[in-house]
Amino acid sequence: MPRTIRKTGSTGYTHVITRGIGRQVLFESASDYRKYLLLLQRCCIETGVKICAFCLMENHVHLLTYSDKDSLINLMRRIGVNYAGYFNVKYERSGHVFQNRYKSEPIEDERYLLTVFRYILLNPQKAGICKANEYTWSSYGLYDKKLDFMDLDRLRILIGDNHDYMKFIQAENDDECLEWDRDVSKDNRDIKRIKKLLDIDNCLDIQKYEQQERNRAIRLLRKNGLSIRQIERLTGISRGIIQRI
């Protein structure tokens, strides 16, 4: 089957995820994290790609980039080749280190740009590792002192100063963004929960409700732990309506 052509956005911003092949660990030690960041810096300078946020997790990496499509492809190829070479020599192994193809999602508006920015920086906190501001291998602490391969100008206009930034990152939110693969089994469990809570045969049946009945149903789903994006995805009710309710 031919590969799907990567989508390109009009803003230049892209959310990128790359992970270890077979979910294997990418970073065995602090020196591995540092090596990846050095390669990221060097390859960004060589390709002209700017980084708005990064978070290096044990077996995957999140990047928020600003560039054209070809430069981003070039960046990810260079990092992949160079880091794999380093990793294989250091750990006396051979073969692929990264999943063959990174995932990417173009960002088309400022609202989603902010969502992705916060989502990336909160990854360690949501994974239960530590608070976002305590995690060593992300760009959380670089908002006021960005490195030369980073570009935060647009985000600083949208968010404000460092005080506003810290409030923004930790504000109550319902962020869900691109992940490597959706947990289909979790979706199936949530579909069953919705059907049971609302006593319906199909999650889309909620669209047939009268407005007041629909609003009560959505509040019930939120009260029982379903996120706005889950409700939107599984019922077909628009995010804007759910947020207003």
46 or 194, which is more confident: 46
Q: State the pLDDT at residue 178.
A: 64
Distance separating alpha carbons of residues 158 and 39, to the nearest angstrom: 29
The lowest-confidence range among 50-54, 96-100, 211-215 is 96-100
Position 52 pLDDT exceeds 80: yes
CATH class of 13-170: alpha beta
Better-predicted residue by pLDDT, 13 or 145: 13
Q: Report the 10 Å Cβ neighbour count for 140.
A: 23
The pTM of this model reads 0.71
The pLDDT tens digits of the residues spanning 136-188 come to 999 999 999 889 999 999 999 999 999 999 999 988 666 666 665 555 456 66
Query: In 20-138, where do the E strands start and end?
Result: 50-56, 60-66, 103-106
Give domain limits for the chain.
Answer: 13-170, 184-244
pLDDT at position 99 is 82
The residue to which tokens 């909160």 are assigned: 122
